[in-house]
């Protein structure tokens, strides 16, 4: 994944997030540091869109919630970029 992150950064992408669901952390890569992630966020941290997605923030914990658990929707109310899970289509009569 490091090679892929460097590829995108060299192509002009300003920031790359590599999300690791099994270990529950996020590597944040920036063009000024290509050898290792510039930042590593763990549970309890806040993911920030910086200048690329100005105003975007989301608790790292929320990204690793089980989408099938009902409390997920309650916890995501505070996230400005939360998208509600798709609802079943209603049948047309």
Cα–Cα distance for residue pair 44/59, rounded to 1 Å: 7
Residue-wise pLDDT tens digits, 14-29 = 999 999 988 889 999 9
- pLDDT for 70 equals 63
Contact by Cβ (8 Å): 18, 24: no
Residue-wise pLDDT tens digits, 23-80 = 889 999 998 988 999 999 998 999 998 888 888 899 998 888 877 776 655 444 344 4
Tell me the domain boundaries of the chain. 2-78
3-class state of residue 10 by DSSP: helix
3-state secondary structure 60-80: HHHHCCCCCCCHHHHHHHHCC
- The secondary element (H helix, E strand) that includes residue 5 is helix 2-10
């Amino acid at each position: 994944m490091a090679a892929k992150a460097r590829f995108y950064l060299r192509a002009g992408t300003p920031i790359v997030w590599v999300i690791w669901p099994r270990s529950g952390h996020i590597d944040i890569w920036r063009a000024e540091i290509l050898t290792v992630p510039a930042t590593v966020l763990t549970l309890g941290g806040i993911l920030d869109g910086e200048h690329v997605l100005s105003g975007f923030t989301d608790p790292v914990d929320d990204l690793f919630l089980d989408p099938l658990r009902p409390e997920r929707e309650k916890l995501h109310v505070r996230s400005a970029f939360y998208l509600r899970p798709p609802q079943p289509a209603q049948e047309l009569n």
